[in-house]
Amino acid sequence: MPTLAATLPSVPEQAERLIEFGVHRIAGLPADRVRAAARDAVGSGSILAVHHDLAPASRLTPLLRRAGKPGFVVSDMTDVDDFTPIPAAEVPDAPLYLVFDLDRGDDMANWSPDEALPGIVDAGRTPLTLAEGVHWLLHQPDALERGHCFMTIGSRLTKPSGAVDARTPALWISNGTGRDGKANRDAPKVGWCWAGNRHSWLGFGSAGGRVTVDG
């Protein structure tokens, strides 16, 4: 059975998807620039991502679709765009870049974020940021499955005091309960979990690295 990364659309196809979704307009990038960056990309099994400063998670999440329903951010995460990359998830200072060798981290299910981050780093990998996780699902919606969703612990929020917020962002499928509302049942969802908690249905998205394709 092929891995999820192996069944990703080609990078030029991903560029067309971003343009179709209007992500280039959100980011203020000409469509031809996105296409040109994709033409210069080498290899397969990678995702084409727009820098989070240009296309933040709050703008990208509603573009997600599952069961005909748009994605949403949980109501108690109004500060979602303040979750920025941690040092272990160094993002290129460029409008467009590739994230390669993706892994949903199913084998780390039932680990806590505090436990998973050292494991990812010790393996020579980098945790996915929230924006990168959303990009992945834009390009490959079926990477999100019931019982096999994932956290994006490459993004954390630093408080004015310098302390790191205990919440860690994640992408999963809404059950339509509580504040989500019945209308959101089966929709893709950006939410959060405590850094010390474990969840049997959440892995940890990671990658082999990142490379600039547009400077």
If pLDDT is split at 50, 70 and 90, which confidence band does 102 have?
very high
If pLDDT is split at 50, 70 and 90, which confidence band does 45 have?
confident
pLDDT over 70 percentage in the chain = 95
pLDDT of residue 88: 97
Amino acid at 160: P
* Local structure of 23: helix, strand or coil: helix
Whether residue 201 is predicted with pLDDT greater than 70 in this model: the reply is yes
In tens, the pLDDT along 130-186 reads 999 999 999 999 999 999 999 999 999 999 999 999 999 999 999 999 999 999 999
Tokens in use for 44? 């397969």
If pLDDT is split at 50, 70 and 90, which confidence band does 214 have?
confident
pLDDT of residue 13: 94
If pLDDT is split at 50, 70 and 90, which confidence band does 76 have?
very high
Q: How far apart are the first and last CA of the chain?
A: 36
Cβ atoms < 10 Å from Cβ of 107? 10
Q: What is the mean pLDDT of the chain?
A: 94
Spell out the residues 6+ positions from residue 118 whose beta carbon is closer than 8 angstroms to its own. Answer: none
pLDDT of residue 2: 45
Asked if residues 188 and 68 have their Cβ atoms less than 8 Å apart, the reply is: no
Q: Where are the alpha helices (DSSP H) in the chain?
A: 11-21, 23-27, 31-39, 57-60, 113-122, 130-139
Over residues 50-62, the mean pLDDT reads 97
Tokens in use for 188? 């893709």
- Smallest CA-to-CA distance from 139 within 82, 72, 63 is with 63
